[in-house]
Amino acid sequence: MTYGDSRIYKKVEVIGTSSQSVEGAIQTAVDRAKKSLDKLSWFEVQEVRGHIDDTGKVTEYQVVLKIAFELS
């Protein structure tokens, strides 16, 4: 990559979930994005939320993130 060379990136907004951790939810979202998009480059966390079940346990982390990838 060379700076100054008119690269273009696009960002998409996705929500990944994980029963384990914030990091797990991020990787889940990136994995899915990787299936349909090439040249993923970085992510930015927008929101961290989660589900609480009837017993008061956090059973799901939901991370809203933007994923940026280079357009060719």
Give contact residues for a second copy (rule: CB under 8 A): 3-19, 21-23, 26-34, 39-45, 47-61, 64, 66-68, 71
Q: Please state the closest distance from residue 1 (CB atom) to a second copy, in A.
A: 10
Q: Please state the closest distance from residue 64 (CB atom) to a second copy, in A.
A: 8
The span from the CA of 53 to the CA of 9, in Å, is 39
The span from the CA of 46 to the CA of 66, in Å, is 7
26: left (phi over 0), alpha (psi -120 to 50) or beta: alpha
Q: Please state the closest distance from residue 65 (CB atom) to a second copy, in A.
A: 9
